[in-house]
Amino acid sequence: MVIDGKTILVTGGTGSFGKCFIKHILDKFNPSKVIVYSRDELKQHNMQAEEGFTDPRLRFFIGDIRDHRRLDRAFKGVDYVVHAAALKQVPACEYNPIEPIKTNINGAENIINAAIDNGVKRVIALSTDKATNPTNLYGATKLVMEKLFVQANAYSGLGGTSFSCVRYGNVIASRGSVIPLFMKQRETGKITLTDERMTRFLIKLEEGVDFVISGLRDMQGGEIFIPKLPSVTIKDLVEVIAPECEIDVIGIRPGEKLHEVLVGVDESRNTITQENRHIIQPVHPWWETNVEGDIFEADTYYGSDNNKEWLKGEDLRRLLEEYVS
C-alpha cells in the first residue's frame, strides 16, 4: 500500500478528521512516521494523552499554516501531506473575513510552496460542497484553495509534487454540525429548523477517512475526488433525533443554501463517474489522464436534491443510532 514506509504530515491533525485519519493509518498500515501539525498546544497535549495516540511513530509539531518558514521546516523529509487545516465555521468567517483568507487561501499557497521546495511526493487537500457555486466566504475561500491546488501541478512539473483535492458534504456529528445542535436543543423541547425543504449529503467520519486514503492512492495530480453519498432532508433528521419536540422554522441564514451541490453544472462536462465516486478532471494542457469511467451527463449537476440515494425512516435511524442514543 502507498502509505507503508512513508512519512505523512497532517495539517489540522488535532481536528475530528485529523485524529480519525491518523488513528486509522497507524492501526491499518505501517507508516514510517506520522506528523501532527496544528497550532493549538492544548489540543496536542490532550491528544497525546488519549488512547491510540501514544504510538512512537507519532510526532507533534506546533505551527500555523500561515507561517511559511515553519511549514518549510516541518515538510523536510515528508512524503505525503494531508491538508485538513481550515477556518470553517460559516458565521465566524463572515464576521472575520480576513482571517479565513489568511488561513484557507494564503495557508494553501504556503503549503504548495513548502511541498514543492521540499520534494513532497503527494499532497491531498480536504474541500467542501460549499466550494461549489459558493454563497458564503468560507465556500469562496475553499473554491480558491481548490483552484490553487489544481494549478499547483503546473508549478511542480512532471515528476514533481502532485496535488489533488477531495470534496464531500456534511460529516455526521462532527463539531459544529447540525446533529449535535439538534441533540442539545432536544433537551429544551424545541428544535430550530431553517427550512423544511432543506436537504444535505451525509458521510460518516470513517468513510471520509477511507475516501481520502483512496484519493491519496489513486491521484495523478489535479483531480477533485467526490464520493457518491446519500441525501437526507433536515426535517427527517429532526423527526429521528427529536420526534417529540416542537419545531420552530426560522428561515435560511445568510450564506446558507437550500440544497448542497458537489458537482456543478459547469464542472459536469469535465467529470468522470466511477462506481463509488465522481472525479472532476482539470481543464489544462498539462493534464493527461488514463482515468477509466463513464462520462458525467453534461450540463447537469450532482446535488443533495436530485440525488438517487436517500436516507429515510429505519435506515436513517440506524445510521444515527450511535449518535442519538
Active site residue 130: yes
Give the orientation angle of helix 107-117 with respect to helix 137-156, to 10 degrees.
20
For residue 175, what is its C-alpha cell? 463539531
Strand ranges (E), 117-227? 122-128, 162-168, 170-171, 190-193, 199-203, 224-227
Q: How far is CA 245 from the centre of its chain?
A: 32
Residue with cell string 443510532: 321
Residues written for the chain: 325
From the number of C-beta atoms within 10 Å of its C-beta (0-12, 13-18, 19+), residue 161 rates as buried
Buried b (16+ CB within 10 A) or exposed e, 206-228: eebbebbbebbeebebbbbbbbb
Dist CA 74 CA 114 (whole Å): 9
**Measured between alpha carbons, how far is 201 from 233 in angstroms, rounded to an integer?**
9
Instruction: Name beta bridge partners: 277.
Output: 227
Count H helices and E strands in the chain, helices first: 12, 17
Matching residue, cell 427529536: 242
- The answer for residues whose C-beta is within 8 angstroms of residue 271's C-beta and 6 or more apart is 263, 278, 279, 280, 281, 295, 296
**Position 264: which residue type?**
G
Question: Is the Cβ–Cβ distance between 131 and 189 less than 8 Å?
Answer: no
In the set 6, 19, 88, 130, the catalytic residue is 130
295 close to 189: Cβ distance less than 8 angstroms: no
- Return d(Cα 298, Cα 270) in angstroms, integer: 8
Asked if 163 and 225 touch (Cβ cutoff 8 Å), the reply is no
Catalytic residues: 130
